Amino acid sequence: MADGDSTRSVRAGRPAAEQHAPELPGPTFAAHYHLAGEATGPYTYGRDANPTWTLLEDAISELEGGGATTVFPSGMAAVSAALFSLVASGDTVVMPDDCYQTTRALRERLESYGVHVRTAPTAGDAQLDVLDGARLVWLETPSNPGLDVCDIKRIAAAAHEAGALVAVDNTLATPLGQRVLDLGADLAVASDTKSLTGHGDLLLGHVTTRDAALAQAVRTWRKTVGAIPGPMEAWLAHRSLATLALRLDRQTANALALATALREHPLVSGLRYPGLPDDPAHAVAAAQMRRFGCVVSFTLPSQAAAERFLAASRLVTEATSFGSVHSSAERRARWGGDAVPPGFIRFSCGVEDTADLVADVLQALDAAR
């Protein structure tokens, strides 16, 4: 019988029990290793590999359902590695026009290297219309911050038929919410700064693939550009994985409860959460997601109303990012770059007691009137 998510989260990447040894070895701080004779072996130089990385990479690979994982010092380092290690001048990349804005900002850099970029929205599987001649199709589902969803299996099948690779940014869902490699993606990419590590105290990212050649390309990219994580961050991330399923269960329960409470609120419009049965993305999301994530989005009537709402909350930190055990929210338009109204709120549910969180949000909305 297969282990459940919490059992796998607790045990992922942990070495076999050894007498008098800690269950999870502490971080290895090393720029170099003793290396006599030929330069072979698992650990030769600190930019190539580190035992602490190895344990974390093994753990993430287990949660992703197999393959080889390469960890990076941030989510954007992982995104950049997946893109730039696999495409060359003359190639075509298909990207969502509503994905994370810093990912979209890579378009200019890709084009400066002679890569052609086509874009299409996430909703409605619009990428299917622009696949011809593509080398790589980039998906982000649910999208950030709009929470639209696309059918990974359908797009991956069509992309492979057209000769393209498929990478999916799975940051919002995590491997316990959506197994993108099982759905046909060639690469699973994520900012582990968010829900995977879930405490808002470190930056990290990863790329996982079951294709050995793709894995080698990504790992070589990390080595040559030096985009390596610190051992302490990697160790903290691995430690955090033990509570991943517990955190996600509470966060998704809170998100559904909050979204349900906001459905009829007179100040709220444009409410989105894929877990709501009447959300436009629910049917596709329910077919491919096991957890719908911690993020709820909605719009208040104005910038001023949004700022009053954020200031009035007792339990919610006004901050960017998402996925922490502490609930946070922000008026997303303050950054520019996203096609959202001035009063658009991206809300990340933490692990607070559900009733407390919902009550706090409702009283903050009263204060925003």
**160-215: per-residue pLDDT in tens?**
999 999 999 999 999 999 999 999 999 999 999 999 999 999 999 999 999 999 99
Which carries the bigger pLDDT value, residue 302 or residue 40? 302
Query: How many residues would you count in the chain?
Result: 369
Question: Residue 358 — pLDDT band, cuts 50, 70, 90?
Answer: very high
Are 205 and 75 within 8 A, CB to CB? yes
Looking at residue 221, what is its pLDDT? 98
Torsions phi, psi for 5 (to 5 deg): -60, -40
Output the pLDDT for position 236: 98
Mean local confidence (pLDDT), 108-115: 98
Residue 261 has what pLDDT? 98
Q: Identify the residue whose tokens are 């629910």.
A: 282
Residues 304-308: contacts with CB under 8 Å, at least 24 apart: 305/267, 305/343, 305/368, 305/369, 306/331, 306/342, 306/343, 306/344, 306/345, 306/368, 307/331, 308/367, 308/368
Average pLDDT over residues 125-143: 97
Q: What is the mean pLDDT of the chain?
A: 97
Give me the mean pLDDT over the 27-56 stretch. Answer: 96
Span 125-131, average pLDDT: 97
pLDDT of 268 reads 98
CB 273 within 8 A of CB 147: yes
Residue reference for tokens 């692990």: 351
Give the pLDDT confidence of 62-86 residue by residue, as tens digits. Answer: 999 999 999 999 999 999 999 999 9
Contact 217, 10 (CB under 8 A): no
Listing DSSP states for 19-71 in one string gives TT--SSPPP---SB----SSS-SS-SBTTT--HHHHHHHHHHHHHHTSSEEEE
Q: Which of the four pLDDT bands, split at 50, 70 and 90, describes residue 328?
A: very high
pLDDT at 2 (0 to 100): 86
β pairing state of 68-72 and 116-120? unpaired
Name the DSSP letter for residue 355.
Answer: H
Phi, psi for 220 (deg, rounded to 5): -65, -40
Query: Residue 105 has what pLDDT?
Result: 96
pLDDT in tens, 290-314: 999 999 999 999 999 999 999 999 9
Domains of the chain: 5-241 (3.40.640.10), 244-368 (3.90.1150.10)
> What confidence tens digit (pLDDT) does each residue in 215-238 have?
999 999 999 999 999 999 999 999
Q: Tokens for 126? A: 């619009």
Task: Say what the pLDDT of residue 184 is.
Answer: 98
Instruction: Give the pLDDT confidence of 233-290 residue by residue, as tens digits.
Output: 999 999 999 999 999 999 999 999 999 999 999 999 999 999 999 999 999 999 999 9
